[in-house]
Amino acid sequence: MKKSAFQLVVLLTLGVSCLQFQSCKEEQRVIKPVVIEFKKEAELVLKNANDSIIKKLDIEIADDEYKTQTGLMYRDQMGELQGMLFVFPDEDFRSFYMKNTNIPLDIIYIDADKKIVSFQKNTQPNNETSLPSNAPAKYVLEINAGLADEWQLEVGDKMEYIKVE
């Protein structure tokens, strides 16, 4: 009898431990989504060939290796008058893709003179297909898909930006 009472105590102890472990395990499974907030770092103005203002935007700037590699990845939204400007140290042919990017975008390639040289419009979220520029670019502006057409942006239009403190 003593042996079976001992076995019962051991089984009950193990059962309670398993329930506690399971309870802790379930609590650890709660994953809160990370929300990456927009951080205004500059103001950008798009102008047509006659220097008339087309649109003013608040932008984030990607100007180091980490920021240019991650860009707008993992974000679920961006305001209409917001964008991200990639600034590269040199002018060269550029190619972007939409890996881990949940927002459809218009990608605007801009040369060292700050003139638009080409577009990749209405990109598909999370698609890893290469989206190259048609000419060398020093800057790349990402805005919400469809806005380049809505704003009637064209090759030759210009941009200016000023960093904010």
Q: What is the CATH number of domain 42-163?
A: 2.60.120.1140
pLDDT digits (tens, 9 = 90+) for 86-135: 999 999 999 999 999 999 999 999 999 999 999 999 999 999 999 999 99
Collapsed DSSP state (helix, strand, coil) of residue 33: coil
d(CA 139, CA 164): 18
pLDDT at 1 over 50: no
- The reported pLDDT for the residue numbered 75 is 94
Query: Domain residue spans in the chain?
Result: 1-31, 42-163
- The reported pLDDT for the residue numbered 104 is 98
Report residue 123 CA to chain centroid gap: 13
- Which two tokens mark 162? 């000023």
Find tokens 């000419």 and name the residue.
Answer: 135
Report residue 51 CA to chain centroid gap: 30
d(CA 116, CA 46): 10
Nearest partner of 97 among 111, 110, 107, judged by Cα: 107
pLDDT digits (tens, 9 = 90+) for 24-72: 555 566 777 778 889 999 999 999 989 999 999 999 999 999 999 999 9
Q: What angle do CA 63, 162, 101 make, to 5 degrees?
A: 45
pLDDT at 15 over 90: no
pLDDT at 149 over 50: yes
Q: How many CA atoms lie within 13 A of 112 on its CB side?
A: 6
